[in-house]
Structure 1
Amino acid sequence: MFTLKNVSYKNILSIDNIEIKGQAITTLFGESGSGKSTFLKLLNRIHTNESGEITYKNQKISTLDPIQLRREVIMLPQEPTIFKGTVRDNLQIGLEFSEKEKKEDQELMKLLESLKVKKQLDDDGKELSGGEKQRVALGRIMLLDAPVYLVDEPTSALDESTETTIMDLFINFIKDNDKTAVMVTHSKEVAQKYSDEVIYMKNLMVGGATHGRND
């Protein structure tokens, strides 16, 4: 799905040769400051690598239209944006930007329930708690039904019980629909439990990263 060869970015990342497989869950695991979020942003051209080559589906991403790329490679940042408007608006806004058909309220309510968000669709999005904002934003990208998801610490604001529920929901969504996910986490437990492959990011540089498959 993605290949990164001799890629560098400022003094943060130095990647010799990494392949991210399609229809699999790859986790970037490491401490804060090790370049995990930067790595994600290179994959959808929010950041541009200073050297080397990144490909997506055998095409150099430098040749791809950034907007079109980001419609296929959806990113959920660690601190997701909640837009002005209702909970419904916040769930649907990605569909609007992508020019996709909006969902019926019944489907949206079912999604909220599965995300353990105890709000109504007409409630103000600004009234969501930190954890609810994270879950609504996750639901928003799931509705986009994209082939690739880049998610940065998707459960950082959740307690352990809710984290398990939400991670199970998201991972099942990825696997059941043959999608690709690249996740960032600092949690060894999350990395081991949910990943098909883990990329260990050490000492701020990825050049010496080791790969381990979670069997």
Structure 2
Amino acid sequence: MAKRSKADAEKTREDLIDAATRRFASEGYADTSINEICEDLGITKGALFHHFRTKQELFLEVWTRLQVAMDSEARDAAIAARSLTDPYSAFLAGCRVYLKYATRRDYQKVVLIDGPAILSLQGWYESDHDLGIQNVQAGIRDLAKKGIVAEHRILPLAVMVQSALNGAGFALARQDRDVTADGVYDAFEAMVKSLR
């Protein structure tokens, strides 16, 4: 019986995260209530608060899952794109995944629009930095191993590249008229290929 209850609790938790993701992506954090999330699932607020103490804690879990999914997909794309003839292919493939996510409504609304406001800009930066910098650094480290980038510039370049990607993500999330994922990628590719 205990195993079934534990499995049920885990399923409820996952269902809450999924329902919250849908609500936060469509309505935004401010316009989503705990009651609406509970009504979507037909559960009580007590069931929600058993898993998450606050709406902000639930939001952070949704934010983290979106970031981890993007990060994992970017890593997989980079591995799949490794090439003996193009030293930039793996790194750029991972960056393209980020730009693809930056055009997705759920990622835009949760990570790029509401995230900095709900987590505070400093909290957003620290969480994003913790999750994203490893892949960016690994990509630049790979360029250093190929003699393209100086070893002592790996971390400073990683910070700059991640900042450029985040800036592009914010522009895509705001849906600036003249900013497209393809246009950003083309400019980003030129920038990356000029790194030394």
TM over 0.5: no
Query: Structure 1 or 2: larger strand share?
Result: 1
Return the structure number with greater relative CO, CA threshold 8 A, min gap 6: 1
Q: Which has the higher Rg, Structure 1 or Structure 2?
A: 2
TM-score (norm 1): 0.28
